[in-house]
Amino acid sequence: MTLRVYNYLSRQEETFEPLHPGFVGMYVCGPTVYGDAHIGHAKAYITFDVVHRYLEYLGYRVRYVQNITDVGHLVGDGDEGEDKIGRQARVERVEPMEIVESYTRNYFRDMDVLNVRRPDISPRASGHVPEQIELAQELLTKGHAYASNGNVYFSVPSWPTYGKLSRRKVDDLEEGARLEVAGDKRDPRDFAVWRAATSGHLMQWNSPWGKGFPGWHAECTVMARKYLGLPFDIHGGGLENIFPHNESEIAQSEAAYGGAFARYWLLNNMVTIDGTKMGKSQGNSLTVQQALTGKHDRLSQPYSPMTVRYFILSSHYRQTTDFTDEALSAAARGYERLLGTVGLVRQMLAKQDSHNSTIDAQFSATLVDLKTRFEEAMNNDFNTPQALAALFDFNRAVNTLVNSQQPVSSGTLEAIDNTYRQLGGDVLGIIPAEISTQGAGAAGLEDELVQILITLRTAARKNKDYATSDAIRDQLAAAGVILEDRPDGTVWKINR
Ligand SMILES: [Zn+2]
């Protein structure tokens, strides 16, 4: 069995063969850190986390690079509008780097809780300005860019393969681009590699063209090359950024450095909420925190991080994931069923006083069958819904086994638990290594108890009984539960 992946560059499924045997270099476009992570981020980074984990399962050593965009990403995603970080800094009246710090921390906090393993390198755009200046210089030398009023623009007409990833024809681009103000560009399709800073711009660096800042696409071009070399194996990202971002990354790299950029392009599809495309402007967005706390008008209850992760993996990454309260509730129930059986197996295993390593002959066929189906699914372009279906069939068989009145050998239980740990834990990241002895409901109980205390504290404050309300807050804090009062109510987090 070999791994096959859908490569957006060829628009075909291809056999995956890394450039250097046994080693995979993977770059994934990271978040622009000007706001809290939303469920679109959750889908993207859970997707590539599972890609990362499955490649390791197959025995590859993976170097996973995922950038943090902290400068250069403009509001319009192209060359128009304010810098997203700069704008947020102005709104919150803080330094741009304070925005970057706080939202980068929130991003990792949210991804950690969703059990997304951290990338090996998380480089920041602002830490790679000299490399981006060099890229602009290289493009100027090779005649694929020109300087204009302190900007450096990539010349799209000078690069005939521009459009090969997004399959946009150059003429179509011209049609669309004509509507925009070309300004100091020679061709409306050209894009900025380096931008002149206006005096009010909060983030700027010296360059041969005056004070300025790098274009958004430049960072991924230089950071992927710096940490993975050219070409590298996998470039991941969200389908919505295929143009102009990914397209321009390729053009800049190939025009400046020659040869290919990335060999396989894996792009995840978007997330919708109740069937509608998510967008901040439409007031139709859902952050990871809102999903986890249930504080959102479309949600009836909070959902556990593992439910969110399981729900995202229950559709294929190249399909749209529709977040609805109903679908999440169903996912929560399905997930609890799975975890309930895992917990039961572990409790039975813990109670065995003598070890019998024999694995039940009949059940070992079930184990082999699961592994085969699971690998087939994952080798088929990381088909996680199929892999989960195999895991659930297995789970049903385990249920039948442990609920029969026949004794089950500790060897069989151990083999079952190891399988859960490997496929459900290591690869899919949905089965924790430790489940509380009280079973799957324990995490929900903790939630409920904290909610009861929050309600009591709110009541105390309403009655101006500040001694009681402060005591509740302080004692929860001592236990590692931090309360945070917000205009829409009190939220809590664990800080141990
Ligand atoms: Zn990127």
Print the SS3 string covering 83-97.
Answer: EHHHHHHHHHCCCHH
**CA nearest to 420, candidates 441, 402, 406, 434:** 434
- Cβ-contact 119, 64 below 8 angstroms: yes
pLDDT bucket at 444, cuts 50 / 70 / 90 = low
Helix (H, G, I), strand (E, B) or coil at 409: coil
The per-residue pLDDT for 440 is 41
Q: In terms of domains, do 373 and 487 share one?
A: no
Asked whether residue 144 is domain-assigned, the answer is yes
Asked whether residue 436 is domain-assigned, the answer is no
Higher pLDDT, 360 or 300: 300
Q: In terms of domains, do 264 and 377 share one?
A: no
- Whether the per-residue pLDDT at 111 is higher than 70: the answer is yes
Helix (H, G, I), strand (E, B) or coil at 32: strand
Higher pLDDT, 496 or 327: 327
Q: In terms of domains, do 62 and 16 share one?
A: yes
Tell me the Cα Rg of the chain.
Answer: 26
The per-residue pLDDT for 464 is 93
Higher pLDDT, 494 or 6: 6
Structure tokens at 296: 């959102």
Query: Which residues make up the environment of ion ligand 1, defined by Cβ < 5 Å?
Result: 29, 220
Q: Separation of 29 CA from ligand 1 center, angstroms?
A: 4
**Can you give the residue range of the structural domain that contains 132?**
4-268
pLDDT tens by residue, 19-42: 999 999 999 999 999 999 999 999
CA 424, CA 432: separation in Å to the nearest integer? 8
Q: In terms of domains, do 11 and 156 share one?
A: yes
The per-residue pLDDT for 486 is 61
Domain boundary among 252, 268, 284: 268
Asked whether residue 392 is domain-assigned, the answer is yes
Domain boundary among 397, 427, 457: 427
Higher pLDDT, 154 or 179: 154
Asked whether residue 408 is domain-assigned, the answer is yes
Q: In terms of domains, do 337 and 388 share one?
A: yes
Q: Is the peptide bond before 302 cis (omega within 30 degrees of 0)?
A: no
DSSP state of 205: B
Q: Separation of 163 CA from ligand 1 center, angstroms?
A: 16
151 has which bridge partners?
148
- Whether the per-residue pLDDT at 60 is higher than 60: the answer is yes
Q: In terms of domains, do 260 and 387 share one?
A: no
Q: Separation of 220 CA from ligand 1 center, angstroms?
A: 5
- Whether the per-residue pLDDT at 214 is higher than 60: the answer is yes
The per-residue pLDDT for 200 is 74
Kindly report the number of other CB atoms within 10 A of residue 61's CB atom.
12
Angle at CA 216, nearest 5°, toward 213 and 218?
85
Q: Separation of 201 CA from ligand 1 center, angstroms?
A: 22
Q: Separation of 496 CA from ligand 1 center, angstroms?
A: 34
CA torsion angle 388 393 398 403 (round to 10)? 130
Q: Separation of 246 CA from ligand 1 center, angstroms?
A: 6
Domain boundary among 243, 268, 293: 268
- What is the CATH classification number for the domain harbouring 380? 1.10.730.10
Where in 424-486 does DSSP place strands (E)?
A: 481-486
- Whether the per-residue pLDDT at 181 is higher than 60: the answer is no
CA 342, CA 437: separation in Å to the nearest integer? 11
CA 197, CA 207: separation in Å to the nearest integer? 11
Structure tokens at 480: 């590692």
Structure tokens at 313: 């993996």
Q: Separation of 241 CA from ligand 1 center, angstroms?
A: 8
Asked whether residue 47 is domain-assigned, the answer is yes
- What is the CATH classification number for the domain harbouring 151? 3.40.50.620
CA torsion angle 135 141 146 151 (round to 10)? 40
- Domains: count for the chain: 3
Q: What is the pTM (predicted TM-score) of this model?
A: 0.86
Asked whether residue 434 is domain-assigned, the answer is no
**CA nearest to 74, candidates 228, 248, 226:** 248
113-to-4, 43, 288, 289 alpha-carbon distances in Å: 30, 14, 10, 10
The per-residue pLDDT for 418 is 96
The per-residue pLDDT for 438 is 42
Helix (H, G, I), strand (E, B) or coil at 328: helix
Q: In terms of domains, do 60 and 139 share one?
A: yes
As a whole number, mean pLDDT of residues 415-429 equals: 97
- Whether the per-residue pLDDT at 439 is higher than 50: the answer is no
- Whether the per-residue pLDDT at 437 is higher than 70: the answer is no
Q: In terms of domains, do 365 and 486 share one?
A: no
- Whether the per-residue pLDDT at 210 is higher than 60: the answer is yes
Where in 401-448 does DSSP place strands (E)?
A: none
What are residue 464's phi and psi, to 5 degrees? 60, 25
Asked whether residue 358 is domain-assigned, the answer is yes
89-to-26, 68, 96, 126 alpha-carbon distances in Å: 31, 17, 5, 16
As a whole number, mean pLDDT of residues 115-132 equals: 97
Asked whether residue 437 is domain-assigned, the answer is no
pLDDT bucket at 436, cuts 50 / 70 / 90 = low
Q: Separation of 226 CA from ligand 1 center, angstroms?
A: 14
Which H or E element spans position 331? helix 325-351
Kindly report the number of other CB atoms within 10 A of residue 60's CB atom.
20
Which H or E element spans position 330? helix 325-351
**CA nearest to 62, candidates 285, 236, 228, 195:** 228
Q: In terms of domains, do 390 and 457 share one?
A: no
User: Of 53-62, 273-282, 395-404, where does the model show the most confidence?
Assistant: 53-62
Q: What share of the chain is helix, strand, coil (3-state, %, to 5)?
A: 50, 15, 35
pLDDT tens by residue, 234-244: 999 999 999 99
What is the sign of the dihedral through the CA atoms of 401, 403, 407 and 409? positive
As a whole number, mean pLDDT of residues 305-312 equals: 98
pLDDT tens by residue, 358-394: 888 889 999 999 999 999 999 999 999 999 999 999 9
- Whether the per-residue pLDDT at 120 is higher than 80: the answer is yes
Q: Separation of 281 CA from ligand 1 center, angstroms?
A: 23
Q: Separation of 61 CA from ligand 1 center, angstroms?
A: 23
Q: Separation of 66 CA from ligand 1 center, angstroms?
A: 9
Q: In terms of domains, do 371 and 472 share one?
A: no
As a whole number, mean pLDDT of residues 68-72 equals: 91
The per-residue pLDDT for 180 is 56
| Angle in degrees, 0-180, between the axes of helices 305-313 and 384-403, rounded to the nearest 10 | 120
Q: Separation of 191 CA from ligand 1 center, angstroms?
A: 15
CA 287, CA 300: separation in Å to the nearest integer? 15
Q: In terms of domains, do 60 and 182 share one?
A: yes
List Cβ neighbours of 266 (8 Å cut-off, separation of 6 or more): 5, 6, 7, 8, 48, 51, 234, 235, 236, 317
Q: Separation of 38 CA from ligand 1 center, angstroms?
A: 18
Q: Separation of 365 CA from ligand 1 center, angstroms?
A: 45
pLDDT > 70: percent of the chain: 93
Q: Separation of 247 CA from ligand 1 center, angstroms?
A: 10
CA torsion angle 332 338 343 344 (round to 10)? 130
pLDDT > 90: percent of the chain: 74
Q: In terms of domains, do 252 and 185 share one?
A: yes
